[in-house]
Amino acid sequence: MLQAPQTAALLLIGDEILSGKVEEANLVVLARTLRALGIALRRVVTIGDDVDVIAREVAELSRTHDHLITSGGVGPTHDDVTVPGVAQAFGVPVELDPGLIAMLRDHYKERCTEGHLLMARVPAGATLETTESVRWPTIRFGNTWLFPGIPEVFRLKLPVLAARLAGGRPWVSHAVYTQMDEGDLKPLLDPIVAQHPEVSVGSYPKWSDPSYRTKLTFDGRDPEAVSAAVAAFVALLPTGEPQRTEP
Amino acid sequence: MLQAPQTAALLLIGDEILSGKVEEANLVVLARTLRALGIALRRVVTIGDDVDVIAREVAELSRTHDHLITSGGVGPTHDDVTVPGVAQAFGVPVELDPGLIAMLRDHYKERCTEGHLLMARVPAGATLETTESVRWPTIRFGNTWLFPGIPEVFRLKLPVLAARLAGGRPWVSHAVYTQMDEGDLKPLLDPIVAQHPEVSVGSYPKWSDPSYRTKLTFDGRDPEAVSAAVAAFVALLPTGEPQRTEP
């Protein structure tokens, strides 16, 4: 029996997402990063730039998951309130980190103002995480990691998670494409789902691709169990199916 | 004084989003639709295909917001559990709707199976909402609207919300683009934010566009208040700024 995977939650912070000004772009890359690490992303919550709401969510999500990643709200302006929110969640004050101050002064040189130094704010007791390839620190407080919301920077910093959270057994995933619709597939899928409880079976109809009608996915952390479920399902399909399989 | 806007929440349902198999695409279009209706999207929660989790979220989000939209999980296969989840949230049974059964039989004709008819499941007491342009019904239970997850179909059905929820005063939004960074902007922004409490001011650094460094947005439902905040901010900028404004 495989050990249950570690769990994670993602907290997306920003009025600009809820108003539709920007398209959220960090969920999918975090989901794929965690999955490759063998960590199950269980819940994603999107909220606005409000200290009390952030504090409540961080307290709840960090308590109920092994890892929490936040995205957004770590700049210096009035709408960047993630650091105060995380500090409030854990009942600690906000302080300026001397190491971050030194890095900011070195970066901005004579242009450095008090405004820039607000980017040195951390919840008191936080750890600054770096790797050889990611030199600008990521703020971590316990199991809670504070990532920037700008998609390019979010991606640049992801290797720090891989460096610190490695260890779980990754998932394997197979896909089967058919021309059948979900109504016809249901009686074939139900026994497969019942007989392979360790395999997660997904069914996704395609609206506008003529090469198939429904994609079935078979996911699990035991490769043999996944292969067995795929083989059992394919054996139930009528002549001419499936259209193709992956991998 | 403007009346406070109605509020909405979005519940995104699907293992495929949390595993990174698909990129979520419905949040941004719903956000823009609601905003044009004058409704404030306050919270988005993404969860997997689990009846109990869906029921808990639907109960909570429908109680704390004026409107709740769910996305995903309304097909006929084992991983489509939104209808049972919503029914559980409101303490009603799942039943087959005679009108939907007739539509499904008419659509699938002699190919129609018991599997297809599972798409006629509704929480008992639900209303089926249609418009002249959106003939296939959308299931509504009280303030909770069940939308399909397939992005093309989600978009096709959105006009039903506009037809039923119209009435709020929409937001207006202005943008100001500058070459200044957030650290330098902060002392200019703080008094504007303090003096224009009815205007929501956002600050968004750009990582890879040389035409500007930071975009400021000024949003509100009172056009004169928004224009006044923009004018007050622009008056504080140094010579050569802003790069441009919108609209």
Residue type, B102: A
The answer on A153 and A213 residing in a single domain is no
DSSP state of B40: E
The answer on B134 and B186 residing in a single domain is no
Per-position b or e across B161-185, b if 16+ CB within 10 A of its CB: beebbeebeebbbbbbbbebbbbbb
Of all residues in chain A, the percent with pLDDT exceeding 90 is 89
∠ at Cα A46 (A45, A50), nearest 5°?
A: 115
Is A46 in Cβ contact with B27 (below 8 Å)? yes
The distance of B92 to chain A (nearest Cα, Å) reads: 25
Token duo for residue B241: 């700024």
Which one, of B126, B233, B154, B239, lies nearest residue B190 by Cα?
B233
Q: What is the mean pLDDT of the segment spanning A145-168?
A: 92
Is B44 in Cβ contact with A187 (below 8 Å)? no
pLDDT at B1: 55
Q: How many whole angstroms separate alpha carbon B74 and alpha carbon B13? A: 10
Q: How many whole angstroms separate alpha carbon A205 and alpha carbon B139? A: 19
Which one, of B161, B117, B116, B157, lies nearest residue B137 by Cα?
B157
Q: Residue A225: inside a domain, yes or no?
A: yes
CB interface of A with B, residues 120-149, below 8 Å: none
pLDDT at A4: 85
The answer on B61 and B17 residing in a single domain is yes
The answer on A108 and A194 residing in a single domain is no
pLDDT at A2: 66
Of B43, B111, B153, nearest to A47 by CB-CB distance is B43
Q: What residues of chain B lie within 8 A of the CB of A41, using their CB?
A: 18-20
CA dist B76 to A179, A227, B73, B122, B212, Å?
16, 24, 9, 12, 49
| Residue A151, pLDDT above cutoff 60 | yes
Q: Residue B210: inside a domain, yes or no?
A: yes
B76: preceding bond cis by omega (within 30 degrees): no
Residue B227 belongs to domain spanning = 172-246
Q: How many whole angstroms separate alpha carbon A41 and alpha carbon A43? A: 6
With an 8 Å Cβ cutoff, is B109 touching chain A? no
Domain end call among B140, B165, B190: B165
Q: How many whole angstroms separate alpha carbon A141 and alpha carbon A124? A: 9
The answer on A194 and A100 residing in a single domain is no
List the single residue in A with minimal CA-CA distance to B29. A20
The answer on A156 and A217 residing in a single domain is no
Q: Residue A1: inside a domain, yes or no?
A: no
B242: preceding bond cis by omega (within 30 degrees): yes
Token duo for residue B219: 């949003």
Provide the Cα torsion B34, B40, B44, B49; round to 10°. -50
Q: Residue A52: inside a domain, yes or no?
A: yes
The answer on B85 and B52 residing in a single domain is yes
Q: How many whole angstroms separate alpha carbon A83 and alpha carbon B120? A: 47
The answer on B99 and B76 residing in a single domain is yes
Is B29 in Cβ contact with A17 (below 8 Å)? no
Q: What is the tens place of the pLDDT at every residue in B55-87?
A: 999 999 999 999 999 999 999 999 999 999 999
The distance of B72 to chain A (nearest Cα, Å) reads: 10
Q: What is the mean pLDDT of the segment spanning A97-110?
A: 94
With an 8 Å Cβ cutoff, is A36 touching chain B? no
Residue B109 burial (C-beta neighbours within 10 Å; 0-12, 13-18, 19+): exposed
Report, as ranges of residue numbers, the positions in chain B whose pLDDT lies below 70: 1-2, 167
The distance of B132 to chain A (nearest Cα, Å) reads: 22
Q: How many whole angstroms separate alpha carbon B167 and alpha carbon B192? A: 30
With an 8 Å Cβ cutoff, is A205 touching chain B? yes
The distance of B103 to chain A (nearest Cα, Å) reads: 15
The answer on B50 and B132 residing in a single domain is yes
Look up the CATH number of the domain holding residue B44.
3.40.980.10
A–B CB contacts, 8 A cutoff, strictly below: 190
Q: What residues of chain B lie within 8 A of the CB of A47, using their CB?
A: 42-43
Q: How many domains does chain A contain in total? A: 2
Q: CA A103, A115, A148, A8 torsion: positive or negative?
A: positive
The answer on B84 and B11 residing in a single domain is yes
Q: Residue A37: inside a domain, yes or no?
A: yes
With an 8 Å Cβ cutoff, is B217 touching chain A? yes
Look up the CATH number of the domain holding residue B205.
3.30.70.2860
Domain end call among A115, A144, A165: A165
| Residue A113, pLDDT above cutoff 60 | yes
The distance of B40 to chain A (nearest Cα, Å) reads: 8
Helix (H, G, I), strand (E, B) or coil at A3: coil
With an 8 Å Cβ cutoff, is B101 touching chain A? no
Helix (H, G, I), strand (E, B) or coil at A202: strand
Q: What is the tens place of the pLDDT at every residue in A114-142?
A: 999 999 999 999 999 999 888 899 999 99
Q: How many whole angstroms separate alpha carbon B178 and alpha carbon B245? A: 9
Residue A218 burial (C-beta neighbours within 10 Å; 0-12, 13-18, 19+): buried
CB interface of A with B, residues 223-242, below 8 Å: none
pLDDT at B242: 95
Domain end call among B137, B165, B193: B165
Is A31 in Cβ contact with B19 (below 8 Å)? yes
Q: What is the tens place of the pLDDT at every residue in A5-35?
A: 999 999 999 999 999 999 999 999 999 999 9
What is the Rg, in whole angstroms, of the alpha carbon atoms belonging to chain A?
Answer: 22
- β-strand partners of A95: A122
The answer on A154 and A94 residing in a single domain is yes
Q: Residue B1: inside a domain, yes or no?
A: no
With an 8 Å Cβ cutoff, is B51 touching chain A? no
pTM of the model: 0.94
Is A205 in Cβ contact with B116 (below 8 Å)? no
The distance of B113 to chain A (nearest Cα, Å) reads: 7
Q: For an interface test with A, which of B186, B189, B207 has the most A Cβ atoms less than 10 Å from its Cβ?
A: B186
Helix (H, G, I), strand (E, B) or coil at A32: helix
| Residue A226, pLDDT above cutoff 90 | yes
Q: How many whole angstroms separate alpha carbon B119 and alpha carbon B213? A: 50
Question: Within its chain, how far is the Cα of B229 from the centroid?
Answer: 27
The answer on B137 and B185 residing in a single domain is no
Token duo for residue A116: 């820039």
DSSP one-letter string for A114-143: HHHHGGGEEETT-EEE--SS--S-EEEETT
Q: What residues of chain B lie within 8 A of the CB of A115, using their CB?
A: 182-187
List the single residue in B with minimal CA-CA distance to A11. B45
Q: How many whole angstroms separate alpha carbon A114 and alpha carbon A76? A: 9
Is B185 in Cβ contact with A78 (below 8 Å)? no
